Amino acid sequence: MPRARHLAAVPANQRATDEQERSWLRRRSPSGQSGEHPSPISHALKLRLYRGMLLSRRLDERLMALQRQGRVGFHVGHRGEEAAIIGAAAALREQDWLVPCYREFGALLMRGAPLCTYLDQMFGNAADTGHGRQMPDHFHSRAQRCLSVSAPIGTQIPHAVGLAYAARLKGRDDVALVFFGDGATSSNDFHAALNFAGVWGAPVVLACRNNGYAISLPSSQQTASKGFACKAAAYGVRGVEVDGNDVLAVYEATRDAREAAARGEGPTLLELVTYRLDAHSSSDDPRAYRSDEEVAAAAAREPIGRFKAHLLACGALSEAEDAQLQEAVDAEVRAALEAARAREKPALDTLFEDVYAETPWHLTLAAREAAQTARGGSAHTPEGSAD
Amino acid sequence: MMEMNMVQAINAGLHQEMGADPDVVVLGEDVGRVGGVFRVTQGLHDAFGEQRVIDTPLNESGILGTAIGMALYGLKPIPEIQFADFIYPGFDQLVSEAAKYRYRSGGEYSVPMVVRTPFGGGIKGGLYHSQSPEALFIHTAGLKVVCPSNPYDAKGLLRASLQDPDPVLFFEPKRVYRAVKMEVPEHAYEVPLSKAAVVREGSDVTVVAWGAMLYEALAAAEQVRGDDGLDVEVIDPRTLWPLDLDTVLESVRKTGRLVIVHEAPRACGFGAELVSLVCENAFVHLEAPPQRVTGFDTPFPYALEDDYLPLAHRIAPALRETARF
Ligand SMILES: Cc1ncc(C[n+]2csc(CCOP(=O)(O)OP(=O)(O)O)c2C)c(N)n1
């Protein structure tokens, strides 16, 4: 079945397959079979993608473990979705913008952010450029042209459209890549953003990670349409469905969408079809809404093993090199985690900064009041509460 | 100097700012060819083209959300919300995004934009063309709220708002739009933010009022001067938040009495905050309990709007009562 894919088919149970109903999809023909991929993607780039995916996976595992030990407040990761995130981010150029949802720390790192930029935010420590104001995994980095993660679903999509359109108004060819989940396609802002993007022809790539779920709700409860890429058609936007577990397919589809946007050919909605292997977040227990069999079947198609098999087969990687790489990634993560954990809390003053560019009188007074109250208190748990 | 009404003054200000800074863009529903339903953006489209005066699809969240993106990129967008009553579909973008961007990014990003919107009643607009939602935005840390009451201030405050690095909500009292004319300089000038004006000096009672209600307060002040010999001081905060509290306190220390007038419903309105601030900071100077003359805690009505609004005939008794207490 022709879709953007290189390595293996999109899992049939996740996709509707009626060819006729899907004829509006702009299809990309597969350029090869697993194992003998004739893609022009160089070995060096493939290894970069692979390392990005390994680093993300390792971080997810370590952060989830630290969360369980009470050392990290919260984690929302992307285990299983590495190909969708790393592949798309790698297709950006330096001048482009990344507009994340909340699972895309791997994309931030692919854009060259130091690991500490991310981990300091995870711990909300004094080195966090957000001064510990947001929950973990709500990062940003101006140096990497990565906007700031917001918790309300879908709100970042119109930002990306405005940002991209502003670039065009300024006569530049920067492109914005915005990530969101399948659940976000039900938000008002998704529709507003697609409509504005289409009407304006904004140079934006809209990447819907269809990981199968929005917390407990399966994709089929977000929409009655066949998938999400088709929604683009109603807004006069290109829609492309991509095997989101195939990092090369994601890379190529995003690269093409990026280039089209930069050429002035307007926006593309990518549907990256993948699967969320872990819980929605460290606060979720997915056993309440899906079966172990389903997860096991999805795990068999997970993107890292698949890509490793491809790298071995095409000679980009040997087992020995793989072991070395894994060890190097592990060591990097361990050292960065140790450093981030050791840092202090943000200073009390920072609580009152950045509300406005200049601190107004009422916040200066508030800061004085806070400083006079000794630090060290913590909230009391109410006794006899309902549960 | 030219005689102008508020629509003309804001329009002149927009022309000037767009002419001076190519990064200033205007966007909203009908702002382009037609020049806005109140004609505030008239002529801008011809002067600056459709790339800078952008007619958008009908979606307030889209207007504000894309304006935020433009501001993050380095433009200075001036989104227009056609009536303040329709700001609610874009409320989330203002309170969750524009207001919080600087704080959540530790100052790495900011959203300098000026959201212009006509507000208030008195034009037979009924439920959905008359509301005064300023308190909702004052309650949101990170937003600045400006409300000019005359053409001169409108042009000067608009410029100051555009120079400001933070998101500003610019509430334009639509009843004043064409009703008040005055001399407005042709050159660019600023009326600084967070600086109140003492519009009328007096020694017996302080009244704080903004937008169209300022004129009701002034009328009431004249009434009680004639009838009761009361000498009323009237203050126009001009910027509601961050507030120029000093000017209010100085006045209350002099008069010992305070009346607040606003169109919005009373419960949790900005008047409540003003009373608190004055009690906290000048309690010993108060000779009478502060009073609020406001809209009622109902939706805004159509046929009975003159009964709903805190017009001069309701303000005058409050002034007398406060003075006599
Ligand atoms: C406006 C809003 N409503 C509800 C939530 C709570 N919430 C957080 S994540 C989530 C599901 C999002 O699903 P999806 O967009 O598919 O992204 P995914 O988590 O699958 O990556 C919900 C309902 C929220 N953050 N914002």
Q: For atom 7 of ligand 1, which residue has the closest CA?
A: A153
Q: Is the pLDDT of residue A167 over 50?
A: yes
Contact B72 A189 (CB under 8 A): no
Residue A152 CA: which ligand 1 atom is closest?
26
The amino acid at residue A129 is: T
pLDDT of residue A21: 34
Ligand 1 centroid to Cα of residue B286, in Å, is: 51
Contact B68 A199 (CB under 8 A): no
pLDDT of residue A20: 32
Catalytic residue among A57, A103, A238, A276: A276
Residues B263 and B309: beta-carbon distance below 8 Å: yes
Q: Which residues in chain B are contacts of A191 at CB distance < 8 A?
A: 59
Q: Which residues in chain A are contacts of B102 at CB distance < 8 A?
A: 354-357
Question: Whole-angstrom Cα distance, residue B115 to residue B67?
Answer: 9
Which chain A residue is nearest to residue B143, measuring alpha carbons?
A: A356
Lookup: tokens for B154: 């409108």
| Confidence class for position A18, pLDDT limits 50, 70, 90 | very low
Which chain A residue is nearest to residue B108, measuring alpha carbons?
A: A142
Nearest partner of A155 among B100, B274, B198, B161, judged by Cα: B100
Lookup: tokens for B230: 């009361």
pLDDT of residue A16: 38
Lookup: tokens for B315: 């303000």
pLDDT of residue A382: 83
Ligand 1 centroid to Cα of residue B82, in Å, is: 31
Q: Chain A closest CA to B170's CA: distance in Å?
A: 17
A248: left (phi over 0), alpha (psi -120 to 50) or beta: alpha
Q: Is the pLDDT of residue A35 over 80?
A: no
pLDDT of residue A31: 37
Contact B107 A166 (CB under 8 A): no
Chains A & B: contacts with CB separation below 8 Å:
147
Residues A253 and A4: beta-carbon distance below 8 Å: yes
Told to judge if A276 belongs to the known catalytic residues of this protein, a careful annotator would answer yes
CA atoms within 13 Å, Cβ hemisphere of B33: 1
**Residue for token pair 């970069």:** A48
Q: Chain A closest CA to B223's CA: distance in Å?
A: 36
Q: Chain A closest CA to B273's CA: distance in Å?
A: 12
**β-strand pairing of A204-210 with A268-273:** parallel
Nearest partner of A169 among A195, A147, A201, judged by Cα: A201
pLDDT of residue A32: 33
Lookup: tokens for B90: 């874009």
Q: What is the pLDDT along chain B (325 residues), one digit of tens a residue?
A: 899 999 999 999 999 999 999 999 999 999 999 999 999 999 999 999 999 999 999 999 999 999 999 999 999 999 999 999 999 999 999 999 999 999 999 999 999 999 999 999 999 999 999 999 999 999 999 999 999 999 999 999 999 999 999 999 999 999 999 999 999 999 999 999 999 999 999 999 999 999 999 999 999 999 999 999 999 999 999 999 999 999 999 999 999 999 999 999 999 999 999 999 999 999 999 999 999 999 999 999 999 999 999 999 999 999 999 999 9
| Confidence class for position A5, pLDDT limits 50, 70, 90 | very low
Catalytic residue among A289, A334, A362, A368: A289
A274 lines ligand 1 (CB under 6 A): no
Nearest by CB to residue A158, choosing from B65, B74, B108, is B65
Contact B242 A128 (CB under 8 A): no
Q: Which residues in chain A are contacts of B100 at CB distance < 8 A?
A: 150
B215-254 per-position pLDDT tens digit: 999 999 999 999 999 999 999 999 999 999 999 999 999 9
Residue A219 CA: which ligand 1 atom is closest?
16
Contact A141 B73 (CB under 8 A): no
A274-283 per-position pLDDT tens digit: 999 999 999 9
Residues B50 and B80: beta-carbon distance below 8 Å: no
pLDDT of residue A34: 41
Catalytic residue among B129, B139, B285, B313: B129
Contact B102 A150 (CB under 8 A): no
Contact B141 A157 (CB under 8 A): no
Contact B106 A152 (CB under 8 A): no
Q: Which residues in chain A are contacts of B140 at CB distance < 8 A?
A: none
A188 lines ligand 1 (CB under 6 A): no
Q: Is the pLDDT of residue A39 over 80?
A: no
Catalytic residue among A3, A75, A168, A280: A280
Ligand 1 centroid to Cα of residue B150, in Å, is: 45
A63-94 per-position pLDDT tens digit: 999 999 999 999 999 999 999 999 999 999 99
Mutate-to-test residue for ligand 1 from A215, A219, A271, A273, highest number of ligand atoms within 8 A of CB: A215
A213 lines ligand 1 (CB under 6 A): yes
Compute the average pLDDT of residues A165-184. Answer: 97
Mutate-to-test residue for ligand 1 from A14, A153, A186, A187, highest number of ligand atoms within 8 A of CB: A153
Told to judge if A289 belongs to the known catalytic residues of this protein, a careful annotator would answer yes
Contact A150 B25 (CB under 8 A): no
pLDDT of residue A12: 40
Nearest by CB to residue A361, choosing from B69, B142, B242, is B242
Q: Which residues in chain B are contacts of A163 at CB distance < 8 A?
A: 69-70, 72-73
Question: Whole-angstrom Cα distance, residue A325 to residue A334?
Answer: 14
Lookup: tokens for A93: 């150029």
Nearest by CB to residue B142, choosing from A158, A165, A356, is A356
Question: A345: how many CB neighbours lie within 10 A of its CB?
Answer: 14
Q: For atom 25 of ligand 1, which residue has the closest CA?
A: A152
Q: Which residues in chain A are contacts of B194 at CB distance < 8 A?
A: 360
pLDDT of residue B27: 98
Q: Chain A closest CA to B56's CA: distance in Å?
A: 8
B50-65 per-position pLDDT tens digit: 999 999 999 999 999 9
Question: Whole-angstrom Cα distance, residue B157 to residue B146?
Answer: 8
Peptide bond into A382 cis (omega under 30): no
Residues B219 and B312: beta-carbon distance below 8 Å: yes
Q: Is the pLDDT of residue A298 over 50?
A: yes
pLDDT of residue B150: 98
Residues A4 and A243: beta-carbon distance below 8 Å: yes
Told to judge if A280 belongs to the known catalytic residues of this protein, a careful annotator would answer yes
Question: Whole-angstrom Cα distance, residue A160 to residue A193?
Answer: 8
Compute the mean pLDDT over every residue in chain A, rounded to the nearest whole number.
90
A214 lines ligand 1 (CB under 6 A): yes
| Confidence class for position A385, pLDDT limits 50, 70, 90 | low
- Burial category of B267 from C-beta neighbours within 10 Å (exposed 0-12, middle 13-18, buried 19 and up): exposed
Compute the average pLDDT of residues A335-340. Answer: 96
What lies within 8 Å, CB to CB, of B244 at 6+ separation is B194, B195, B196, B237, B238
Backbone angles phi, psi at A362, to 5 degrees: -70, -25
| Confidence class for position A26, pLDDT limits 50, 70, 90 | very low
